[in-house]
């Protein structure tokens, strides 16, 4: 998790990449603006969807969860202060997804670490978030092939995205290619329903697929009506290939969390 410092201010940032370790790109960006910078790999290097490093490794999980972040902050401040021979005036943090979570947790455990934190899209409440991702993969699975009439193939994601944009973009009074607040949009699912014998399924959905789509956008509730997780937002469709794109239902974020972080092993189904 990268961080940046200079004599008068500090900043940190994280961006998604196929490979996660030391974030050299963000270190360079911080230097461009005159910051002294810090980055940590939190004790491991991997791709975004590879959690095998966590299997039966409780200390690595502690490092990734909170410890490496804080110890890197403390040590980096000591180094920067010694190098410039004066105290640091301000310390700032910016991170997204796991980086957002790390920023939130750091200021909860150590509020003195930063003067300001930007926590974008924090991957929070992991014990609900990642099992929900596993449920999403299962919801849209089609294994064996043809057994789930509600399966939405990845080839339809762009058609759904286009219809969501068409309906929801104007909800803030301005058509600009941005959905300002998905909750302002009263999405009409029927607009995507295949109509007539001449319709093709390349740009429309069946009734069973619309039911799956509704479940995707609505909160996930257990059978006893216990709330587990909010649903995906209207406008999130660009992320669906990872969460919903495997017809076998193997969402790597959800299944990988249960297999590796929870220690169930790769044979867990």
Q: Is residue 187 part of a domain?
A: yes
Give tens-digit pLDDT for 179-205.
Answer: 999 999 999 999 999 987 544 567 899
Quick one: average pLDDT of 143-163?
A: 96
Q: Is residue 241 part of a domain?
A: yes
pLDDT-wise least confident of 36-50, 53-67, 148-162 = 36-50
Q: Is residue 251 part of a domain?
A: yes
Same-domain pairing of 131 and 19: no
Q: Which domain holds residue 216?
A: 126-261
Same-domain pairing of 66 and 90: yes
* pLDDT of 77 above 80: yes
| CB within 8 Å of 24: residues ≥ 6 apart | 39
Same-domain pairing of 100 and 159: no
Last residue of a domain, one of 100, 120, 140: 120
Angle 247-248-254 from CA coordinates, rounded to 5°: 105
pLDDT above 70: percentage of residues in the chain: 91
What's the pLDDT at 27? 81
Q: Is residue 202 part of a domain?
A: yes
Q: How far apart are CA 193 and CA 151, in angstroms?
A: 14
Same-domain pairing of 104 and 217: no
Q: How far apart are CA 134 and CA 244, in angstroms?
A: 9
* pLDDT of 13 above 60: no
Same-domain pairing of 107 and 213: no
* pLDDT of 81 above 90: yes
Last residue of a domain, one of 98, 120, 142: 120
Considering the chain, what is the average pLDDT of its residues? 88
Q: Is residue 101 part of a domain?
A: yes
Quick one: average pLDDT of 12-34?
A: 67
Q: How confident is the model at residue 84 (pLDDT cuts 50, 70, 90)?
A: very high
| Count of H-run helices and E-run strands, the chain | 9, 9
Last residue of a domain, one of 120, 139, 163: 120
Tokens standing for residue 35: 């910051």
Same-domain pairing of 71 and 180: no
Q: What is the tally of structural domains in the chain?
A: 2
Same-domain pairing of 187 and 244: yes
Cβ-contact 215, 207 below 8 angstroms:
no
Tokens standing for residue 127: 């014990």
pTM of the complete model: 0.81
Q: Is residue 83 part of a domain?
A: yes
What's the pLDDT at 201? 62
| CB within 8 Å of 168: residues ≥ 6 apart | 179, 182, 184, 185, 187, 234, 235
What's the pLDDT at 242? 87
Quick one: average pLDDT of 17-33?
A: 75
As a whole number of Å, the CA-based R_g of the chain is 22
Give tens-digit pLDDT for 125-135.
Answer: 989 999 999 99
Quick one: average pLDDT of 39-63?
A: 91
What's the pLDDT at 200? 54
| CB within 8 Å of 137: residues ≥ 6 apart | 243, 244, 246, 249, 250, 251, 254, 255
Give tens-digit pLDDT for 246-265.
Answer: 999 888 889 999 999 999 99
* pLDDT of 3 above 50: no
Quick one: average pLDDT of 74-103?
A: 92
What's the pLDDT at 266? 86
What's the pLDDT at 7? 35
What residue spans of 50-171 are helical by DSSP H? 58-62, 68-84, 98-109, 126-139, 157-168
DSSP-derived secondary structure for 40-70: --TT--EETT--GGGTT-HHHHHIIIIIHHH
Q: Is residue 91 part of a domain?
A: yes
Q: How far apart are CA 263 and CA 190, in angstroms?
A: 42
Q: How far apart are CA 148 and CA 211, in angstroms?
A: 12
pLDDT-wise least confident of 6-20, 94-108, 141-155, 165-179 = 6-20
| CB within 8 Å of 206: residues ≥ 6 apart | 149, 193, 194
Same-domain pairing of 109 and 198: no
DSSP-derived secondary structure for 198-219: T--TTS-B-HHHHHHHHHHHSP
pLDDT above 90: percentage of residues in the chain: 65
């Amino acid at each position: 998790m990268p961080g940046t410092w200079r004599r008068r201010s500090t900043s940190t940032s994280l961006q998604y990449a196929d490979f996660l370790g030391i974030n050299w790109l963000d270190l360079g960006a911080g230097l461009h603006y005159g910051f002294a910078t810090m980055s940590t790999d939190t004790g491991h290097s991997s791709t975004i969807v590879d959690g095998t490093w966590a299997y039966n490794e409780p200390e690595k999980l502690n490092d990734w969860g909170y410890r490496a972040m804080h110890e890197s902050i403390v040590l980096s401040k000591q180094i920067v202060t010694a190098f410039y021979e004066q105290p640091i005036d301000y310390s700032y943090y910016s991170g997204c997804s796991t980086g957002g979570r790390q920023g939130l947790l750091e200021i909860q455990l150590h509020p003195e670490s930063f003067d300001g934190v930007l926590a974008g899209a924090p991957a929070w409440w992991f014990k609900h978030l990642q099992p929900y991702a596993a449920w999403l993969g299962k919801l849209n699975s089609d294994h064996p092939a043809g057994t789930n009439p509600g399966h939405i193939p990845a080839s339809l994601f762009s058609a759904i995205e286009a219809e969501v944009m068409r309906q929801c973009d104007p909800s803030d009074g301005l058509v600009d290619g941005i959905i300002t607040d998905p909750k302002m949009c009263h999405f009409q699912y029927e607009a995507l329903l295949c109509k007539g014998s001449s319709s093709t399924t390349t740009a429309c959905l069946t009734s069973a697929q619309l039911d799956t789509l509704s479940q995707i956008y609505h909160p996930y509730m257990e059978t006893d009506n216990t709330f587990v997780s909010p649903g995906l937002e209207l406008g999130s469709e660009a992320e669906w290939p990872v969460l919903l794109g495997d017809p076998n239902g193997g969402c790597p974020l959800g299944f990988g969390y249960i297999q590796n972080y929870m220690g169930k092993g790769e044979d867990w189904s």
